[in-house]
Structure 1
Amino acid sequence: MKKIALIYMGGTFGCIGEPLSPMPAENFIPQLQRVLPLHLHIECFIAPSIKDSSACTATDWLQLIQMIQGLQLKNYQHFVVIHGTDTLSYASATLARFLGQSAHVVLTGSQYPLLNVNGTNTREFTDAIDNLNFALDAVVTSSVGVYLAFHHQLIHAQTALKRHTTNLDAFVGLSAKENLITHQQSYVVHEHDLEKAQSFNCLSLMAQPIAIEQQIKNLKNLPQAPPHVVILQGFGTGNLAVNQEFIDTLHEIHIQGCAIILTTQVPFGTIDQRYAVSEWTQHAHIMISDCLGHADLYAKALKMYLQYDSIDQWHAHWHDSV
Structure 2
Amino acid sequence: MKKILMIGTGGTIASEMTEAGLAPGMEGADFLRYVPAVEKLCQVDPLQVCNIDSTDMTPDRWLDIARAVEAGYDHYDGFVLCHGTDTLAYTAAALSYLIQGSPKPIVLTGSQKPIHMDITDSKTNLWDSFAVACDGRLPGVTVVFGGRILLGTRARKTYSKSYGAFSSINHPILGVVREGKVTPYLCPQAQARPTFYHALDQKVSLVKLVPGQSPDFLAFALEASHGVVVESFGSGGLPAGQAGGFYPLIQKAAAQGKTMVFTTQVQNEGSDLGVYQVGHGLKAQPGVLEAYDMTLEAAYAKLMWALAQTRDQEKVAELFETPVARDLLLGPMG
CA contact (8 A) 1:147 1:156 kept: yes
Q: Deviations over 1:289-316 (max 9, x none)?
A: 1452011112211211221133343135
Matches within 5 A, 1:134-153: 134-141=128-135, 142-153=137-148
CA contact (8 A) 1:4 1:43 kept: yes
Q: What are the ranges of 5 or more consecutive residues in structure 1 without an aligned counterpart?
A: 116-122
SS at structure 1 position matched to 2:91: helix
Q: Deviations over 1:52-71 (max 9, x none)?
A: 11111111011111111111
Aligned CA distance change for structure 1 residues 48 and 278 (closer, same or farther; 3 Å): same
**Residue 55 of structure 1 corresponds to which residue in structure 2?**
56
For residues 30 and 187 of structure 2, the distance between their equivalents in structure 1, rounded to whole angstroms, comes to 37
For residues 288 and 181 of structure 1, the distance between their equivalents in structure 2, rounded to whole angstroms, comes to 24
**Residue 172 of structure 1 corresponds to which residue in structure 2?**
167
Q: Deviations over 1:243-302 (max 9, x none)?
A: 154212111223334321111111122222551233432135311114520111122112
1:163 to 152, 158, 163: 158
SS at structure 2 position matched to 1:280: helix
CA contact (8 A) 2:99 2:197 kept: no
Q: What are the ranges of 5 or more consecutive residues in structure 2 without an aligned counterpart?
A: 176-184, 325-334
| Structure (1 or 2) with the greater strand fraction | 2
SS at structure 2 position matched to 1:140: helix
For residues 274 and 231 of structure 1, the distance between their equivalents in structure 2, rounded to whole angstroms, comes to 18
**Residue 218 of structure 1 corresponds to which residue in structure 2?**
217
For residues 65 and 292 of structure 1, the distance between their equivalents in structure 2, rounded to whole angstroms, comes to 22
SS at structure 2 position matched to 1:70: helix
Q: Do residues 154 (structure 1) and 149 (structure 2) align? A: yes
Deviation at 1:16, TM superposition (A): 1.3
When normalised by structure 1's length, the TM-score is 0.84
Q: What value does the CA root-mean-square deviation take over the aligned residues?
A: 2.5
Q: Deviations over 1:75-115 (max 9, x none)?
A: x1311111001100011111222223312111100011111
- 1:109 is matched by which residue type in structure 2? G
Matches within 5 A, 1:4-43: 4-18=4-18, 19-25=21-27, 29-33=29-33, 35-37=35-37, 38-43=39-44
Q: Do residues 207 (structure 1) and 209 (structure 2) align? A: yes
Deviation at 1:34, TM superposition (A): 5.0
CA contact (8 A) 2:129 2:144 kept: yes
CA contact (8 A) 2:139 2:189 kept: no
1:285 to 268, 279, 287: 287
Q: Deviations over 1:175-220 (max 9, x none)?
A: 0145487789944244xx3xxx4x612211111122xxx5334333
Deviation at 1:226, TM superposition (A): 2.5
Spell out structure 1 runs of 4+ moving beyond 4 A: 178-186
For residues 91 and 317 of structure 1, the distance between their equivalents in structure 2, rounded to whole angstroms, comes to 19
User: How many percent of aligned residue pairs carry the same amino acid?
Assistant: 24
**Residue 246 of structure 2 corresponds to which residue in structure 1?**
246
**Residue 121 of structure 2 corresponds to which residue in structure 1?**
127
